[in-house]
């Protein structure tokens, strides 16, 4: 599927991401997990932050690729785990169409599945998320961006 379906961008700074992850952790503070399964690569960063907040030391991965930048392709599952997820926290950065989440749910049906951001089509696939983002928005994560010079408005107007 091509990137034509994304008409807007939703920019997430490192600071915003960190605050969002901490807010999600507040909602899970009473829970006791055996460990975290992070869905690579996007789930790795929230997983590390969650692990710090909830003092979880055991972290495993499901390695899976679906997108080439903004273009969705077939699912390439490179690594799974050898349990059904019972007692584990399953973490991804976001759920969009829900295709990735559906495949991982099949592998780990009993895990508690969280994402930081969720779009409407994929939202039913996760147990918990923090922020809903419109389906037509591409979420720009801080690890995909850099700091760049911006020309003053008056100079931009001259051109």
Ligand X SMILES: O=P(O)(O)OC[C@H]1O[C@H](OP(=O)(O)OP(=O)(O)O)[C@H](O)[C@@H]1O
Catalytic residues: 92-93, 96
Tell whether residue 97 is among the known ligand binding residues.
yes
In the bound state, the residue with its beta carbon closest to ligand X is 42
Options 6, 67, 131, 143; binder of ligand X; rule CB under 6 A? 67
* Binding partner of residue 98 among ligand X, Mg ion, ligand HPA, none, CB cut-off 5 to 8 Å per kind: ligand X
SS3 label, residue 119: coil
Dump the DSSP string for 101-129: HHHHHHH-TTSEEEEEEE-TTTGGG-SEE
Tell whether residue 133 is among the known ligand binding residues.
no
Smallest gap from Cβ 6 to ligand HPA, in A, equals: 7
Q: Which helix (H) or strand (E) holds 16?
A: helix 14-26
In the complex with ligand X, the residue whose CB is nearer, 51 or 125, is: 125
Residues 34 and 89: their CA atoms lie apart, in Å, by: 8
| Residue positions forming the annotated binding site for guanine | 96, 139
């Amino acid at each position: 599927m091509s990137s034509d379906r994304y008409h807007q961008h939703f920019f997430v700074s490192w600071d915003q991401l960190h605050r969002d992850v901490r807010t999600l952790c507040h909602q899970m503070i009473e829970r006791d997990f055996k460990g975290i399964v992070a869905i690579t690569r996007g789930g790795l960063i929230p997983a590390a932050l969650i692990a710090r907040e909830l003092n979880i030391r055991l972290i495993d991965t499901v390695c899976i690729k679906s997108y080439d930048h903004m273009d969705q392709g077939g699912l390439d599952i490179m690594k799974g785990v050898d349990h059904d997820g019972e007692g584990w926290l399953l973490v991804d950065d976001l759920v969009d169409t829900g295709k990735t989440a559906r495949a991982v749910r099949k592998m780990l049906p009993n895990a508690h599945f969280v994402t930081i951001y969720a779009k409407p089509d994929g939202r039913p696939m996760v147990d918990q998320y923090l922020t809903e983002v419109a389906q037509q928005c591409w979420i720009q994560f801080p690890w995909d961006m850099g700091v760049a010079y911006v020309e003053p408005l008056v100079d931009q107007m001259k051109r």
